[in-house]
Chains A and B, each alone.
Chain A
Amino acid sequence: MAEPRFLVVRNDEEQYSIWSADRDLPAGWHDTGFAGSREECLAHVDEVWTDMRPRSVREALS
């Protein structure tokens, strides 16, 4: 059986997560365009989510 596919997704606070590719994405979350196995997606998040502060916090500080 094929390995389940996941998407790397992000909300408006620019917090990342992963989501099964064959399930409807909950409102307020957006596909970042990266898809792969669970491990590949988590490794991708490790790479791209460099500032874990929510966007509102980041903007308030700058």
Chain B
Amino acid sequence: MSTSQEWTFPASYAQERVWMANQLDAGSPVFNVSFPWLFPAGVDADTASDVVNRVVARHEALRTHLRTDDGALVQVVRAHDPAPLPVTDVTHLPAGEQRAEFERIRGEMARLPVPLDAAPLWRARLIRMEEGLALAFVVHHAVFDSHSAVLFHTELLAFCEAARTGAEPAVPELPVQYADFAVWQRQQLTGEELDRQLAFWTGHLAGAPPVTGLPLDRPRPAQLGFAGDEVRFRLPDGLLDRVGALATGAQATPYMVLLAGFAALLSRISGDADVVVGVSTAGRDSPELTPLIGMFVNPVALRCDVSGDPTFAALLGRVRNGLIDAMEHGQTPFQKIVEAVDPQRDPSVQPIFQTALNWIPDSGLDPVELGTTKDDLAFDITTGDCRLVYRTDLFDRATAETVVDRYVRLLAAAVAGPERTVGALPLLTDAERDRVLGAWNDTACDVPVTTVVDEVQRQAAATPDAAALVCDGVTLGYGELNTAANRLARLLVARGAGPETRVALALPRSCDLVVAMLAVLKAGAAYVPVDTAYPAGRIAYLLEDAAPALVVTTPDTAALVPGDALVLDGEVGSDQSGDDLTDADRVAPLRPEHPAYVLYTSGSTGRPKGVVVEHRAVTAYLAWARATYPGLAGVALLHSPVSFDLTVTGLLGTLTAGGTVRLAGIDDPAARAGGRPAFLKVTPSHLPLLDGELSPTADLVIGGEALAGEQLAAWRAAHPDVAVINEYGPTEATVGCVAARIAPGEPVPAGPVPIGTPTWNTRALLLDAALRPVPPGVVGELYVTGTQLARGYHDRPGLTAERFLPCPYGPPGARMYATGDLARWRADGALDYLGRRDDQVKVRGIRIELGEVEAALLAHPDVRAAAAAVRTEGGEPTLVGYLVGPAHEDSVRAELARELPAHLVPAALVRLDALPLTPNGKLDRAALPAPAAAEPEQDSYVAPRTDAEGLVAEVYAEILQVEKVGALDDFFALGGNSLRGMRAMARIRAEVDVDLPMRALFGSPVVADLAAQIEQRIAAELDGLSDTEVAALLAAEEGTN
């Protein structure tokens, strides 16, 4: 060990910040700075060594390392101790391979972490090649920034030149050294001055989104690391010139233009109108700092307002003003801003900003790729090689490449036409546009335009003796069913039913119900199912709103409806002819354009509305369904109310495919009579009910709600030979308009199950707020167009006009239905469903995907069903998890904390016997109970239970100046910040000799959790010792008692 003289000074804020970040993973080379340099011809190894040593002698930063003294970070400066540099001779290799060998050595050096606590914070090696002597130099960012690289090269050259000529080296005097700056900075930034600067930043960042809304390829891991990769690219020839020209004309800098382009891109991809980007300030505000090697850079956050679809020129003006403001306050140490703005930091998210753009025209890029990143996405733009560095935990390489393509395309268009609005700048390539509008929507299929009546009668004529319907122990053949329906239909016609009229069906689940539905269709009218289990008020509302020509009921349910209803008593219609009706028998001819049914759906707000669906839409869906679900030709179990359009598949699909409808409640023994059905359609909430007897043999169709792989896993494992189809479809686009088929044996990964691709002659459009197609991977609102569109809402012209819009991407005059659902295209052309647009919930400003929380809850082996909701009873929105199953809340919470980012871990967990369901089998969110009120703070005190907890609690109390700290108290909730955390960890390390990294505190800020980490690490270290060593340790321990 060297015995050179050393002096200690306080660390600068920049050093402190780098040190702190480095602690998250001290074994990563993420902060290594490296660059190659070729000595001028004729310089020998001794001279080269001497030249490097002279530069080191001039700059204290190159003789500095960092250390914690009593919980405070200090920089230790050593006296210069010249040492020759090691030399590697590669001249034995063929000339063509020497450069490559140099790069290999350099890369190896660059990827080796530089520990911060041992001097010096750099490594150098001379490589002798035939073309000359090269220097491989790797230095830690804590003592070196990109301007330092420029200085370093200039000085190397100056000393080489001096050695050659014998003249004085042309290097500037250094009136101050880096440590002087650090001391000065600490004195400057205190008290009122610091408060003033922080007030600017808290104001500037108030209400800013804490996390970018960029679509991620994978959910955020609970803990951030530095794993990254980079995509290299070059800007097209001349683009930077045009960037410069636009900048000059707008009194801006090229950097501002590059930033405005980046902000526009981020806004377009994320849908956020408020975008926060990290930018770096040089931090060399005084002239005497300019010639100093050292770490001066300070990041600041640039908040860009992209709201109101500004022109690019207007956005550039906003970015320009914002950047000038930010730079004026650029000396505020970033960690101070973090503490002021985001004290309770979430270890899964980089605080304040997650994306950055650097403009480094002078120093250029190091060709060595470190495989690390500090940001989620960061552009380094130079005049030559540029790169996008990305976090591999979040993004795939293909996504990063796409981001680069989009940036270059958007920037080029913006610079060429700054008067275009941000929203009008091109985001998609022509090929992508063709894909999302064309290839992925190429659903054309020749399907005859017909009526449900024709389809059912075709089947009845073909197989009159086959069983069509089984209910209440009665089996009706196709011929019998058809005849019964014909008789009733004639009576309905006589009572005024016909095309463009409605007949309400207030009937319980029965053979009569199916007969009546077919009879209404045959009469040419539209049926309106009225669930007899509904409250009287709701029934009265439906009957008034639908204004039916006629109400059909049974003696049991007649009391629910007006007195002039047609009561089916077994005799009704028996005197009528059982032949199929012709148009001559009807009030008016029945055409495929007439409505077949009106189904009432309750939106999230307002009164229920009747969706009017025409025959041509139903038969279009049924044709697709028959081709997709072979089980429809077998027995289909129909268990849901017919007021829910999910049942159209099992009822009309089956009756037009020659299958048998088994009508029974899912908990009714009759549902199981006659063996397993071939076809079954359920909501995800039904899945836990499907045992061996109820499960279908051919097709299990799941619809009505979002489906996660976790929900399906158990059933799938028990029934590997059945196809599962995830069907998506609002009633307004007829039953199912997008579907994904999971073939038997095909694996179902955890997480949301894709909803797949559009049905025949249907197109799915994913559009942004300005109705432009969004690129694959980007969240858009789902619009549906094609033959399955409903006519509209019964007697609601305004509402119909609002939701059925002109379609800019279809044949002239076509409409598209705005589903209000969010989705995104996957790379394979399937759609991912991402929830309702109006359900986009935020907690503490962070967008929450409830599905992600629900999937994580379900991943626990003892959770059978789960839901998540954001509740606002207490004023502040709170995330609440609901679970069904034997799992204990504590174990679920611990599991979630391991798997999910902190903002996705529910603040409360509620155990239920079963999830509340609506009559349609969907989760009834309104019926989820509020969690019991949180216990008051003082009652939650749990005394430390182990020695380790005692130690951690004692250290927290001391560092945070808190009287009483319990086992369940959280360091950050008690007022801790990263600086205090550093002290706390130093204190703990002083008490127990265990290698506890800083990130342990970020990941486990609760006393009990951190104590457990300490115990685990002690145990792990003991495991690594031999028995003799353990015995010796224990003996020593006893000796001290």
Contacts and interface: CB of A to CB of B under 8 A. Distances in A.
Nearest to B793: A52
A53 B594 CA distance: 9
Nearest to A17: B801
A56 B593 contact: yes
B863 interface: no
A46 B798 contact: yes
Given A27-B812, A28-B814, A52-B792, A19 B797 contact: no
A60 B614 CA distance: 15
A50 B815 CA distance: 19
B801 A26 contact: no
Given A26-B806, A26-B808, A52 B797 contact: yes
A49 B499 contact: no
B591 A28 contact: no
B500 interface: yes
A39 B589 CA distance: 38
B572 interface: no
B420 interface: no
B815 A57 contact: no
A49 to B, nearest CB: 4
B1034 interface: no
A42 to B, nearest CB: 4
Contacts of A21: none
A43 to B, nearest CB: 6
B801 A53 contact: no
Contact of B791 (A17, A52, A61): A52
A26 B807 contact: yes
Interface in A6-36: 8-9, 11-13, 15-19, 23-29
B811 interface: yes
B593 A57 contact: yes
A28 B814 CA distance: 8
Contacts of A16: 797, 800-801
A45 B588 contact: no
B398 interface: no
A54 B800 CA distance: 13
A52 B812 CA distance: 19
B231 interface: no
B813 A27 contact: yes
A19 B806 contact: yes
Contacts of A11: 806, 812-815
A9 B814 CA distance: 12
B801 A42 contact: yes
Contacts of A19: 805-806
B591 A60 contact: yes
Given A11-B815, A19-B806, A45 B798 contact: yes
Contact of B771 (A18, A23, A29): A23
A48 B770 CA distance: 27
B588 A61 contact: yes
Given A11-B813, A15-B804, A28-B813, A46 B591 contact: no
Given A26-B807, A28-B812, A53-B500, A18 B792 contact: no
Contacts of B588: 61
B924 interface: no
Contacts of A12: 812-813
Contacts of A29: 806, 812-813
Given A46-B797, A53-B500, A57-B594, A13 B813 contact: yes
Interface string B297-314: 000000000001000000
Contact of A45 (B593, B794, B801, B808): B801
Contacts of A46: 797-798
Nearest to B772: A23
B593 A17 contact: no
B890 interface: no
Contact of A54 (B791, B794, B802): B791
Given A26-B808, A27-B813, A49-B797, A18 B802 contact: yes
B802 A42 contact: yes
A12 to B, nearest CB: 5
A53 to B, nearest CB: 6
A1 B308 contact: yes
Contacts of A26: 806-808, 810, 812, 814
Contacts of A25: 806
Nearest to A39: B798
A16 B799 CA distance: 10
A51 to B, nearest CB: 9
Contacts of B794: 52
A57 B500 contact: yes
Nearest to A19: B806
A42 B805 CA distance: 12
Nearest to A47: B797
A42 B807 CA distance: 18
Contacts of B798: 42-43, 45-46
A15 B614 CA distance: 15
Contacts of B813: 11-13, 27-29
B488 to A, nearest CB: 24
B770 to A, nearest CB: 7
A35 to B, nearest CB: 14
Q: Please indicate which of the listed interface residues B791, B806, B810, B813 has the most CB atoms of chain A within 10 Å of its own CB.
A: B806
A45 B797 contact: yes
B101 interface: no
Contact of B770 (A8, A23, A50, A53): A23
A30 B88 CA distance: 79
A38 B499 CA distance: 33
Contacts of B800: 15-16, 45, 49, 52
B393 to A, nearest CB: 39
A15 to B, nearest CB: 7
Nearest to A45: B801
A34 B589 CA distance: 36
B721 to A, nearest CB: 45
Determine which residue in B612, B798, B799, B812 has the highest number of CB atoms from chain A within 10 A of its CB, and name it: B798
* Residue of A15, A16, A19 with highest tally of chain B CB at under 10 A: A15
Contacts of A54: 593, 791
Contacts of B802: 18, 38, 42
Contacts of B805: 17-19
Nearest to B805: A17
A23 to B, nearest CB: 7
Interface string B775-810: 000000000000000011011011111101111101
Name the residue among B308, B804, B808 with the largest chain A CB count within 10 angstroms.
B808
A56 B799 CA distance: 22
Nearest to B421: A22
B307 to A, nearest CB: 9
Nearest to B308: A1
A28 to B, nearest CB: 3
Nearest to B771: A23
Given A23-B771, A27-B813, A54-B593, A17 B806 contact: yes
Contacts of A17: 801, 804-806, 815
**Which one of B791, B801, B804, B815 has the greatest number of beta carbons of chain A within 10 Å?**
B801
Contacts of A56: 593
Contacts of A41: 801
A48 to B, nearest CB: 8
Interface in B732-774: 770-771
26 contacts: A11-B815, A15-B804, A15-B815, A17-B804, A17-B805, A18-B802, A19-B805, A19-B806, A26-B808, A26-B810, A26-B814, A28-B806, A28-B814, A29-B806, A29-B813, A38-B802, A41-B801, A42-B798, A42-B801, A45-B797, A46-B797, A52-B794, A52-B795, A52-B797, A60-B593, A61-B588
Interface of A: 1, 8-9, 11-13, 15-19, 23-29, 38, 41-43, 45-46, 48-50, 52-54, 56-57, 60-61
Given A8-B801, A26-B807, A57-B591, 9 more contacts: A1-B308, A9-B806, A11-B806, A15-B800, A19-B806, A26-B812, A28-B813, A29-B812, A54-B593
Q: Which 5 A-B pairs have the closest CB atoms?
A: A28-B812, A28-B813, A49-B797, A11-B813, A42-B798
